[in-house]
Chains A and B, each alone.
Chain A
């Protein structure tokens, strides 16, 4: 259904090898908010079925880059991007591409758990209903909640309000809601920053499991978290010498490599905690 909406541009056959074959080719030259140059020069290749972490100090444009990957930034007045984000060979910023269809392929989980003020099952079904899913809704809700490691905790109260869940449960509900419409990619914008350590550990474990089926891009403030969960890591930074207003990608490498042998001084200094 949603692949059809991406047409007329061709859609990549997705029978590629996991972990090495590219799924998203990011080549962002410049991102503006109004006249403000927020991000420049971000080029990276996101392999299929891998976890990619974006790290860097506050205000370096991590979330901006993440939100470019499913065109969530389109909704911000004054947003303008130069460059391309190719998803399976299709430039997501091609004028023929429907941003709604993009977001159905590339789902998103936010910093604050944001379930709707309705029941647990309706939350999971939200994306399915919007795309007129014609399979069996109840089964889909169960498998989604199982995938999000939430089923056992909520199976007896599917029809109670989602807001009665704890913060960590709410965030896993949001993940279940995001994977229910079968996206290819899940973007996570600091998914654990509002959670306690136990809830964080559960989400991290979940991310590692979800990697089997989905490609995950996660923005995090937590360096150790990036190291624990990701295969590739991108370090974004703003040059203080040039006013520190514009973020750019300093280094993008397999996570072990980036943490063990960073190529750039800025990366090394950041990893060593010389600046925040």
Chain B
């Protein structure tokens, strides 16, 4: 074949055209995938941003027909319940992760725990609510933020466990050898070497779990219920951002609908910040 034929630019070869077509296809699919996210974000900013003010964060959710008001009580409620869920889920999840990575090995118990965690991570969140309803609400005979926290913790435990196991497994074995070779006990090795080395990736997993829990509505619907007031006690129904959005968005009153938009923007912003913080932590070299 002569050089002239090899370097012929007169017409595109079939392969070049196919390549161009496929590149355009993947690009188009990417845009399609991003479109819902961008349109949601745009809509939220458009509808929610005008309501952003100090009083939004300091006042309570208004009853029907009332003027103004805020979502301060819902933010506090979400914070309290997510905090409670973290208090339950982080120790359990981290201890399970330590067991899976450091002590369980490939044993049958470890495999069963790992499998359960994977199943649990796909658990429909309404089921977590039903579980907490049966466990706490039926026993206490009242709606309570404790039940909400328990329900959310059920969703967080598998995330913390599975991301935690990955984080601990990423710690090089030579560091464990070093510690054990210096006469550290297995517990000391985990506490003083493995956990500090994996700290940033463990924190990332916890933040992702918190972000997931903060946005959940279904587990709170019949555990914490809802309230228009500040959180007054642990045995009272508690407000939350997610349930507030659920209730107010189907309200016939313009004021409540506007607050639902504002609440959505705040919630998405919160989840976004948690995710970005998680990414930034993960980017730090673990070693």
Contact = CB atoms under 8 A, between A and B. Distances in A.
Contacts of A2: 183
Contacts of B181: 70, 72, 103, 107-110, 178
B177 A130 contact: no
B182 A130 contact: yes
A185 to B, nearest CB: 12
Given A70-B181, A177-B182, A114 B193 contact: no
Interface stretch (B25-33, B119-127, B142-150, B184-192): B184-192
B178 A116 contact: yes
B177 A110 contact: yes
A181 interface: yes
A169 B181 CA distance: 19
B170 interface: no
Contacts of B185: 100, 130
Interface in A221-253: none
Contact of A127 (B172, B182, B196): B182
B177 to A, nearest CB: 6
Contacts of B179: 116, 126
B175 interface: yes
Interface string B130-149: 00000000000000000000
Interface residues of A, number: 29
B182 A114 contact: no
Interface in A81-132: 100-101, 103-104, 107-110, 112, 114-118, 126-127, 129-131
B91 interface: no
A126 B174 contact: no
Interface in A127-142: 127, 129-131
A174 interface: yes
Contacts of A131: 183
Contacts of A129: 192
A135 B128 CA distance: 54
B183 A130 contact: yes
B280 interface: no
Best-buried of B172, B180, B188, B193 by chain A (most CB within 10 Å): B180
A75 interface: yes
A77 B177 CA distance: 14
Contacts of B196: 117-118
A127 B185 CA distance: 11
For the complex of A and B, list the 5 residue pairs with the smallest distance between their C-beta atoms, beginning with the closest: A104-B183, A108-B181, A127-B182, A114-B174, A114-B178
Interface of B: 105, 172, 174-175, 177-185, 188, 192-193, 196-197, 287
Given A103-B182, A108-B177, A117-B175, 9 more contacts: A72-B177, A101-B183, A107-B183, A110-B178, A114-B177, A116-B175, A116-B197, A127-B184, A181-B182
